């Protein structure tokens, strides 16, 4: 079984996701106690899909989020750097265009998409700043960015309960439900290491996005970040 560490070597991270691909969606649903479906719905709503929109779903995994976005009327491209995830995704969602690729070097022309989204994937990228710059590059002027990611609950009691779940409860569930429990040790560590909502918002601004903001979901366990690719006259 393969796991990654906080060095986030792309080869190790991809191999780890290859290992968990077949049972990934089932394990996520169990570990989130079904809340992942609500986070997915919130992400689709935040995208504000207009039928025919070209949307890039980065770190799409097996395509669960991509399929939900497509049902809203978008033309979705699902990108992931795990060959195992892409293979499972193509089998489960043959109507979705899957691409194996790196978020820090997106294999698309400038201004190719009306919106870009990434759910629970930016945290796994070796260089998130470069990935954010790439997201801006492939967006049309005025295009939308939506990022759904684990974060730090602002309420101390919620934060303590969440930390107890991550360190004491989640490993036991992962041992029973996952083909690679070690991968979920990395999940816990990567969540603890990830920046706060405000810091991630500053990274998005630094990448050149405007109208940057976020809102907390589930008490701040997750945050939904947004930004807009600047128009030609904006800086």
Domain 10-228 is classified in which CATH homologous superfamily? Vaccinia Virus protein VP39 (3.40.50.150)
Provide the mean pLDDT of the chain: 88
Q: CA gyration radius for the chain?
A: 17
Residue 17 has pLDDT above 50, yes or no: yes
DSSP for residue 117 = E
Exposure string over 135-149, b if 16+ CB within 10 A, otherwise e: bbbbbeeebbbbbbb
Percent of the chain whose predicted confidence (pLDDT) is above 90: 67
pTM of the model: 0.89
Residue 235 has pLDDT above 50, yes or no: no
Torsion angles phi and psi, residue 208, rounded to 5: 105, 5
pLDDT of residue 203: 98
Three-state SS at 51: coil
Q: What is the pLDDT of residues 67-126, one digit of tens each?
A: 999 999 999 999 999 999 999 999 999 999 999 999 999 999 999 999 999 999 999 999
């Amino acid at each position: 079984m393969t796991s990654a560490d906080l060095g986030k070597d792309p080869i190790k991270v991809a191999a780890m996701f290859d290992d968990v691909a077949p049972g990934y969606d089932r394990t996520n649903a169990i570990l989130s106690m079904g809340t992942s479906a609500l986070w997915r719905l919130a992400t689709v709503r935040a995208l504000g899909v207009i039928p025919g929109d070209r949307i890039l779903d980065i770190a799409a995994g097996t395509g669960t989020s991509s399929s939900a976005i497509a049902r809203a009327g978008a033309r979705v491209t699902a990108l992931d750097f795990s060959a195992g995830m892409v293979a499972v995704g193509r089998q489960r969602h043959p109507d979705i265009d899957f691409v194996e690729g790196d978020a820090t070097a997106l294999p698309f022309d400038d201004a190719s998409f009306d919106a870009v989204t990434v759910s629970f994937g930016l945290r796994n990228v070796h260089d998130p700043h470069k990935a954010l710059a790439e997201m801006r590059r492939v967006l049309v002027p005025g295009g939308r960015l939506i990022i759904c990611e684990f974060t730090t609950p602002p309420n101390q009691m919620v934060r303590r309960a969440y930390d107890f779940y991550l360190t004491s409860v989640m490993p036991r569930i992962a041992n029973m439900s996952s083909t690679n429990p070690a991968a979920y040790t990395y999940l816990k560590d990567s969540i603890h290491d990830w920046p706060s909502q405000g810091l991630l918002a500053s990274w998005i601004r630094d990448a050149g996005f405007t109208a940057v903001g976020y809102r907390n979901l589930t008490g701040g366990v997750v945050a939904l970040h947004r930004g807009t690719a600047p128009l030609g006259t904006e800086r």
